[in-house]
Structures are given as C-alpha cells and as structure tokens.
Amino acid sequence: MFTLNYAPGKLKQADNLLPIGQVEMESRPGAQQVISGNINTALGWGNSVVFERYGQLMIWHVIENTFTDRTAGTRMTGTSFQALTGYGDRQRRLYIASGDTVFYIYRRPNGEGDTQLYESVSIVNECQDDQQQPYNLPKAKVLATWRNRLWASDGTHIVYHTENDKPHYWDPINAMQVQSGNQSDVTALASHGDRLMIATPDSLWQVTGDSKYNFSLTKVVSGHGAVGSRAMVSDGRRLFYLDRQGVYELGRDEPLSGDIDSVFYTPDSGAELLLDNQLELLFLLYGGRLFTWHTRYQRWGEIITDAKGLVRIGNRVGWYGVDGLWLLNTRYSQDTRLDGSKTPVRSVMRTWQEQPNIAGVTDLQRVYVGAEGNYLSHGSYRLYTDADQAALMEAGFDIWRHEPRYLTIGGVNLYHEKPEYLNVEIPVQLADYQFEHELETEGYIRLRLFDPRYNYPERDV
C-alpha cells in the first residue's frame, strides 16, 4: 500500500504504479503525445479537445484548428449540450464559460478542401426587457447541463439557468441564491443523476425537481466543499469532491485521501479531479502531483509527470502542460512523442524504513519478487539503510524468460504482447539494523509479490 505517512512495511514511493488489487500494482500505460507545445487549459469534448495556447482558443481533432476570433482564459470551463435546431433535429455543441460571457462551438458541414472543421458562435440573450433589448448574459465562470438546461455561476452566490431546451434564453428571474452563514460563492457545478450539485468552498447543495416551478435547493454537506471548478466529478451514482482537507465521496464522512493527507498542507485552488472512462480510477491533480485512486480497492498510486491539468478525450484520460497534451495508451505501450521517439515507462517502488528486529541487528538473506512482464521489461533491486545513505547493494533482473512469438512485417518483428509471470530470487546476505527496499523497472510490470526474508533471534525486550 502506498502512503505518504510513515508506515513500516508500506510504500512511500509508487512512481508510475497504479493499484489494481488489494496488494498488486501495475505500471501505468504508456502515454502518447497528441499535441506539442505549452497548454494552459483544455476541455475534452467527445473525441476532440478545446485548448488554450498563448491566449488563443484552439481545437484538436486529429488536426489542429484555430478560432481566429476567439481568445481563451486559463480557467475556462465548458459543458456539452444537444441543442434543438429544428423539428427533432439537434446539434451537438460545447458551451464555454470564459469568465466574461458564454459562447458555443459546433462542428459545421464541410466542403471539399475546407480545413476549418469547427466554428465558434457568440450568443445573444433571447430574453428581452420592455425596451426590446436583450438582458446581459451571465459572466459565467462555471457551466453545467442538467434537465435540458444550461446552469451557470458567475463566481458569486447566485446560480442561473436557462429555459427548458432554450440554451440562449437567460431570464434574470431564473436564478437561485446559495446562502449560508459562511462564505457561499459557488465554485463548481455537476450533474449527479436526478440532482444538480452545487459546491461552495465549505458546503455542498443539491437542486431537485423537474421544472422551474418546483426546483428546490437543499444543503447536503456542511464544513466541506470544492476548491475549484474542476474539483467535483460524478458518474451519476457517486459524487467525488476535492476539499482543502482532502478528497471526499458524497455520503462518507471520512476523506478518501488519508494516505496522502500531507499533500493538502499547501492550498491549491486549481486542483482537479477526473474519473476514467471505466469509472474505476479517480485522478487527482494537486500541487503539481498526479495521483490515482482505485475506487474499488481504495488504494492510491502516483503518475510522475509535469501536468497543469487533466482531460478525458473519448475513452482515454490524459494530462496537459508545458510539454503538450498526452493521453494514456495501452498497458504494454511505451511513451511516444509526436516525432515517433519512444521511451519505456519507468516505475519505482520504495518502502518506508523498517526495523524488523527491535532488539538489534537483522540478517536479510534474500528477497523474492513475483511479477508479470513482457519481453521489453527489466528491473533492478536496491537496498538502503535509510533515505540519506547510498545503496548497500544493487542487483538487476529480467521479468521474462522466453522470447514471445512474433510476426515479421517489413523487416520488423511484431511481438505477441502477452505477459509472462516470473518469480525472481535475489540473494542479499547483509545484516543491519534497518532497511529500505527499492524496485525500479522499465517496461510493463504487474507486481504481485514482494517478500524480503529476514532472520534474527527472538528475544524478550
């Protein structure tokens, strides 16, 4: 188990290792770079992604397109909406809140040779005053879709919504005020099944009902909330939210993040949560570190990367930052850049310092490692007395025995990617008072067993 809190026998480091069982861990899938260059913010939209580069709004769908008339803020948010355009006809749109106004993006019909696949559209409020002038649109900072309506917050305690199936009809009276005894500025909105969840820094609220005539606002959590617009996520059944004290699930009092609670000592208002497409892994980006939590096995891992934000495109999850946008690929793949260069995934497991014999010296005879790997996988074992000393010993090992079957095409061998289970015995024969163990691997690994064998005389203390 990976934890940032001192716990002898547990892991203090799990670089690029994801929990996949009660004791098992697996190297993260290789990542593929799909966009190069610095990206400050991005929004996944189906198989596309809208992103900001040097203040310019851009969209990627196999190729990059630029919206020449649009600028983008680093905190823009968005929501998908199926807009009614005719008798039964709907148009798939991405509505974006820029912090100043609301506009949308859609994919337009294209003729031969037309490379501008998408178009951004400014909207005018269809709700007018008695002078036949449109009311101002909300200066939206947060957007969500629920009950065939757009919902928006301008960063104050007010949440606005449109008329049913009319995403451009913002009547000023269609608003709810989130008020409590403490600061109640809205930080996040999320559709959660038959409820709309509203977060403030220290509370959660829910909207129920099915029309503006019976919408009801109720506080459901006090003392905890969401730190930012991307700090609350739902799969329709479970709701996760990121508070200043950690990660919580609606309905549970204790945080899910007890094993990594030291990360939250420093506030991060730009922190993010994201669920993968299989609804098994919860990704947490906080303070520049990217953690993963397995929702079934309730265990943490960490991905080592330099990320500014998280994104889900289609059924793939990834991150973006100064080195572009990367999406996780298949479990056996390598990290692949746009230029085709590849780097194997490097994983590091390191235990907390432990003293098996509290009365004196312990003899460490050997270490057993049980793991699955493929023909590209190899690793090394290192033994330390503590974090400040050089390694007492180091031993390398391969995580496969036999070359797999392959098919030769164009002079290149395409190997059958089937993992091979291997038990490795590493002789040590060293004695000391305390030990820290480290396994470093390159390539795919599924770690099933790590068993140091200690020997020391039992004595009364």
Q: Are residues 57 and 110 in the same domain?
A: yes
Question: Is residue 4 domain-resident?
Answer: no
Query: What parts of the chain have a pLDDT lower than 50?
Result: none
Domain with residue 290: its CATH number is 2.130.10.10
Same domain, 253 and 373: no
Q: Is residue 19 part of a domain?
A: no
Rounded Cα distance, 350 and 3, in Å: 11
Asked whether residue 255 is assigned to any structural domain, the reply reads yes
Q: Based on the domain organization, do 180 and 255 belong to the same domain?
A: yes
Q: Would you state the pLDDT for residue 405?
A: 74
Rounded to an integer, what distance in angstroms lies between the CA atom of residue 27 and that of residue 32?
15
- Contact (CB, 8 A) for 301 and 259: no
Condensed to tens digits (0 to 9), the pLDDT of residues 59-81 reads 998 777 777 677 777 778 999 99
> Do 194 and 52 fall into the same domain?
yes
The predicted pLDDT at position 375 comes to 79
Q: Which residue has the tokens 């024969």?
A: 429
Give me the pLDDT at residue 286, please.
97
* Tokens encoding 313: 């495109």
Nearest CA to 1 out of 293, 391, 372 is that of 293
Q: Are residues 278 and 144 in the same domain?
A: yes
Token digits of residue 357: 């014999």
Q: Is residue 15 part of a domain?
A: no
Is 407 found in the same domain as 307?
Answer: no
The range of the structural domain enclosing residue 67 comes to 31-328
Same domain, 319 and 362: no
Bridge partner residues of 225 (DSSP): none
Q: Using CA atoms, how far apart are residues 200 and 223, in angstroms rounded to an integer?
A: 10
- HSE, CB side, 13 Å, CA atoms: give it for residue 393: 16
| pLDDT confidence of residue 407 | 76
Could you please report the per-residue DSSP string of 342-402?
A: EEPPEEEEEEPPB-S-TTS-EEEEEEEEEEEE-TT-EEEEEEESSTTS--SEEEEEES-SS
Instruction: Name the 3-class secondary structure at 262.
Output: helix
Domain assignment present for residue 394? The answer is yes
Please indicate, yes or no, whether residues 278 and 391 belong to a single structural domain of this protein.
no
Total domain count, the chain = 2
Verify that 300 and 358 share a domain, yes or no: no
Furthest C-alpha separation in the chain: 93
pTM above 0.95, yes or no: no
Q: Which two tokens stand for residue 87?
A: 């008798």
What are the distances in angstroms from CA 264 to CA 27, 110, 267, 355?
Answer: 25, 48, 6, 29
Give the end of a domain, one of 295, 328, 361. Answer: 328
- Structural domain includes residue 91: yes
Q: Name the residue type at position 382.
A: R
Last residue of a domain, one of 265, 293, 328: 328
pLDDT of amino acid 408: 81
* Same domain (yes/no): 372, 297: no
353 shares its domain with 391: yes
Q: Tell whether 320 and 357 lie within a shared domain.
A: no
7 in a structural domain: no
Q: Is residue 334 one of the residues assigned to a domain?
A: no
Query: So what's the pLDDT on residue 219?
Result: 95
Label residue 265 left, alpha or beta by phi (over 0 means left) and psi (-120 to 50 means alpha).
alpha
Strands 335-336, 342-343: pairing is antiparallel
Neighbour-count burial of 207, counting CB atoms closer than 10 A to its CB (0-12 exposed, 13-18 middle, 19+ buried): buried
Q: Enumerate the β-bridge partners of residue 50.
A: 43, 59
